[in-house]
Amino acid sequence: MNALAGVDGPNALSRTDATLRQLMGALHRVLSRRGQQAVADALPWPELWRRASEARGEVRFPEPLAEACVQAYSLAFQLLDSAEENGIIQQRRQAEDAGDLGEESGSWLQNFQLLEARGCDPTTIAAGLRRIRIEPVLTAHPTEAKRRTVLEHQRRLYRLLVELENTMWTRAERADLERELEAWVERLLRTGEIYLQKPSLSDERRMVVHHLRNILPNAIPRVHRSLRAAWREMGFDPALLEGAAAMPRIVFGNWVGGDRDGHPFVTADFTAETLVLFRREALSFVGEYLEDLAARLSLSENRQPTPPGLHAALQLWSEALGEEGHQAILRNPEEPWRQYANLMRAALPPPEGEAAPPPGRFRSPAELLERLDALAEWLRSVGADRLVTVDLEPVAALVRTIGFHLATVDVRQNSAFHDKAIAQLLTLAGTEAGADYAEWPLDRRRAWLDAELSSRRPLARPEDTEDEARAMFEIHRTLDVHKDHFGTEGLGALIVSMTRSAEDLLAVYVLAREGGLLDRQGRIPLNVVPLFETIEDLQRAPGIMDDYLGHPIVQASLDCQAELAGREERVQQVMVGYSDSGKDGGIVASMWGLYRAMDALAEAGRKHGVRLVFFHGRGGTIGRGAGPTHRFVRALPARTVQSDMRFTVQGESIRHHYANLATAAHQLELFTACALGTSLSDDVRPPDPPGLAEAMEALKVESRKAYRALLEHEGFVAFFERATPIDAIESSRIGSRPARRPGQRSLDSLRAIPWVFAWNQSRFILPGWFGLGTGLEALSRARPKDFEALVRAKDESSRWAPLHYLISNAATAFAMTDTELMGRYAELAQELAQCDALLARLLEEHDRTRAMLERFYHGPLAETRPGIHRAAVRRSEALRPLHLRQIELLRAWRVADEAERGQLTPSLLRTINAIAAGLGSTG
């Protein structure tokens, strides 16, 4: 669970307690002043705001005060999040100041130390840094339950906490800050939290732009600063890190406006609008940096000689730019370096326009980087090396990150949607049996696709198309127009959800041809990316990619893409889904299935001379692939993190990890540093322990068997729909996309997000642990030596990384389960004949899992994982009255008539929001 991540350091816990005491005291005073003393006295963690002698029994919300109590508790959990985040960051600052970051898992310093111990010299490490490319991809999956206004208020409050950490304030100044902090607490208390209407796509896009514009790019200089500090700590040659190009590259991707899988509101027009908006924001941001650079470079030619060539360059460029160029020169006479920066800003291209920019304007970010390099040399020629490092390199780093596009926009669609589009095109073309394309056997599909891809003529006229065929024509036409005007830098991948065969990928080429996206040689300029999601799809994935990568048009297209990107090697992305594989087979089968699939996929890429870049579709909870960043990267198979890595950042994960500069920089450091450490360690990484693959396979089989037996148990679906608030969640307004995929209402159509969300709300937390206990117990009986080999290690450094990641994640999810509350929620399904049997099965597996985890950790979890236990207990005790309130409301809501349900719905949604805040996650 996100709520328990990173809180186990003793210094972090101490700092968290101090900050939470301050915040809860403020909330207690605000409530008391508003005449809500009874609500104030019911707040959680009374030891923070009451005298220790004033004992308090179990809290239950009395009906007249219930709504106010739910709201107060929801805010209390938000304050706890801020306190924990501040505690972690302050602990890290103290460690950095004391030179102890080598002890911090995943830090630059720790990775440098590990690499040096494995025989890597500084030159090798520096070369590896230049190859690293990390790309967080922001999505708008419906997992963020809080309104944007509330999130903005939380950010302001957090920044105030950081200010209060400063010791420079006088007593009066600190008192003013504390009063301002109290005002922000009151503001949050008075602000409605739940969405009264579903957020629109534009709302979600505004949130993404906020992070892409105001937070993420500004976090990168902190990542670089931390890297350089660790480099100095190691005593490595600083000359190896000279220049912005010496830094690892961090760029950003985006799905909002491009992800149309099951989202009827994502149109081609909205995608086009998003591409232009992103370009406008990027150019505005780069312009601000260049304006600041010009102000900094106020070097007078009367104080130092003007380098040869600078005046000539100024004259030629200003003439090419016309009036704007002349104005840029006139503004700062006798300051040629500043004039050159002025010209760079004047030469930025317009966000919209024709394919050819006006004379003198930049056509690409690469041209701007060349001009920055020239300016750097002119500064160095007069000995201003420090100004290059301090003033110019941050501008180059920004341009390398956001270019002129801010973030790439991926386009995702489901393979079944493509099938319908092709069937419609075949029908329009008069092909007999074309409407049955989805039922064609694969050999017939392949023969038809190959024949079509040898031709440049379209199947139908655009004006004749409708529905799916029309939608595919329009999106590919939109991408083609953008490519012709601005190149491919802002365009991401074409992702095919539910890829079942190579034919599903080749179908995209035919559809792209209809929209004009293929070039004259029939090549596609964008990567066509499979998304392998279910357990079966992951098992088939290596064979599918072997087939796909061997196709001549794919080979030619990869050559084309390499040429457009200016790289020598061919690169193919493969997206692997953690959510649906977990929903399909349980956490063990999902994680081991992903491990084996990625290992085999990488080998398929090497066979065809193609480097595979894995795109990790992780969610925000353990049941959907979340977990500590450093452990996640280190647990990936050898040679699957060669330099590039993409990963989704979904919903509330954006808030948890990227809402504030310090936290965002830390997360980016963990991904980047661990990617470096993993990629450079592959050649010296020891092979997987003997027999471990067979043991893990046996663990997967037994675990999945137990998980599937539960899902296929008679009455399970009805139990799930009654014993969890899934029906209320589907009525909520937390995202613009539907909670289910189109089609028949079933578990299969339900998306993984609400599946995990519902189990979390009822404290079963089932997707995060169920099946592990059975799997480990079966392994201990059938293969006792293998089992002992798995559990023998007593610390993280001596455990096999993939297994440690699996077990520690499951143990963290398990820590937030509550068997007493499971029983309370199960009472909502008491009328079902199978209710008692299903609950008994869940509780038996819970006991079994606890016993197996304690064997793995060599003792009770409360003693062997004290930090996680303490954080879980703190949250669990405060969550209990919210759960009891939710159960009461669910019982009344489900039997109410339409009018009564309308009155109860806001109260029910508030409990969902408050519990999500307490757990630190939705789905």
Q: Is residue 234 pLDDT above 90, yes or no?
A: yes
551 or 85: which carries more pLDDT confidence?
A: 551
| Bridge pairing between strands 570-577 and 249-250 | unpaired
CA contacts within 13 A on the Cβ side of 2? 30
Percentage of residues in the chain with pLDDT exceeding 90? 67
Q: Three-state SS for 194?
A: coil
pLDDT tens-digit series, residues 755-806: 888 999 999 999 999 999 999 999 999 999 888 877 776 565 567 888 888 9
Q: Is residue 188 pLDDT above 80, yes or no?
A: yes
Q: Of the ranges 589-598, 609-618, 652-661, which one carries the lowest mean pLDDT score?
A: 652-661
Greatest Cα pair distance, the chain, in angstroms, is: 92
Instruction: Work out the angle at residue 102's Cα, subtended by the Cα atoms of residues 224 and 85, and round it to the nearest 5 degrees.
Output: 70
pLDDT level of residue 218 (50, 70, 90 thresholds): very high
pLDDT tens-digit series, residues 852-888: 999 999 999 999 999 899 989 999 999 999 999 999 9
**pLDDT at site 724:** 96
Q: Which residue has the tokens 């399970």?
A: 716
Q: Which residue has the tokens 């992305």?
A: 573
483 noted as active-site residue: no
Burial classification of residue 305, based on how many CB atoms lie within 10 Å of its CB (0-12 exposed, 13-18 middle, 19 or more buried): exposed
Q: Of the ranges 160-174, 187-201, 314-328, 438-452, which one carries the lowest mean pLDDT score?
A: 187-201
Q: Is residue 53 pLDDT above 50, yes or no?
A: no
* Alpha carbons 644 and 649: distance in angstroms, whole number: 16
Burial classification of residue 701, based on how many CB atoms lie within 10 Å of its CB (0-12 exposed, 13-18 middle, 19 or more buried): middle
DSSP letter string over 268-302?
Answer: HHHHHHHHHHHHHHHHHHHHHHHHHHHHH----TT
**pLDDT at site 397:** 95
424 or 654: which carries more pLDDT confidence?
A: 424
Helix axes 336-346, 323-331, angle to 10 degrees: 150
Q: Is residue 321 pLDDT above 90, yes or no?
A: yes
Q: Is residue 162 pLDDT above 60, yes or no?
A: yes
For all residues of the chain together, what is the average pLDDT? 89
* Alpha carbons 183 and 321: distance in angstroms, whole number: 51
Q: Of the ranges 146-160, 563-577, 821-835, which one carries the lowest mean pLDDT score?
A: 146-160
pLDDT level of residue 104 (50, 70, 90 thresholds): confident
Q: Which of 141, 420, 476, 700 is catalytic?
A: 141
657 noted as active-site residue: no
Question: Which tokens belong to 118?
Answer: 């494995």
Question: DSSP label at 350?
Answer: P
* Alpha carbons 586 and 208: distance in angstroms, whole number: 31
* Alpha carbons 912 and 923: distance in angstroms, whole number: 12
| Bridge pairing between strands 133-139 and 610-617 | unpaired
* Alpha carbons 796 and 810: distance in angstroms, whole number: 15
pLDDT tens-digit series, residues 279-314: 999 999 999 999 999 999 999 999 999 998 999 999
Burial classification of residue 827, based on how many CB atoms lie within 10 Å of its CB (0-12 exposed, 13-18 middle, 19 or more buried): middle
* Alpha carbons 588 and 805: distance in angstroms, whole number: 11
> What integer is the mean pLDDT of 370-386?
96
Q: Is residue 749 pLDDT above 70, yes or no?
A: no
**pLDDT at site 145:** 45
Question: DSSP label at 646?
Answer: E
* Alpha carbons 509 and 528: distance in angstroms, whole number: 8
Identify the H or E element spanning 890: helix 866-895
Q: Minimal CA–CA distance to 880: which of 801, 821, 823, 802?
A: 821
682 or 273: which carries more pLDDT confidence?
A: 273
pLDDT level of residue 354 (50, 70, 90 thresholds): low
Q: Which residue has the tokens 């008539």?
A: 897
Q: Residue 410: how many CB atoms within 10 A of its CB?
A: 27
pLDDT level of residue 353 (50, 70, 90 thresholds): low
Q: Using an 8 Å Cβ cutoff, are 83 and 154 in contact?
A: no
**pLDDT at site 922:** 54
**The most confident of 70-84, 361-375, 427-441, 653-667, by mean pLDDT:** 361-375
Contact residues for 574 (Cβ-Cβ < 8 A; gap 6+)? 529, 530, 532, 541, 545, 601, 612, 613, 614, 615
> What integer is the mean pLDDT of 349-362?
80
**pLDDT at site 221:** 93
**pLDDT at site 241:** 94
Contact residues for 239 (Cβ-Cβ < 8 A; gap 6+)? none
**pLDDT at site 25:** 92
Q: Which of 405, 583, 846, 883 is catalytic?
A: 583
pLDDT tens-digit series, residues 77-102: 989 988 888 888 888 777 777 766 66
β-strand partners of 332: none
**Alpha helix locations (H) across 143-267?**
148-164, 171-190, 201-210, 216-234
**pLDDT at site 52:** 47
* Alpha carbons 805 and 811: distance in angstroms, whole number: 10
For residue 548, which amino acid is it?
Y
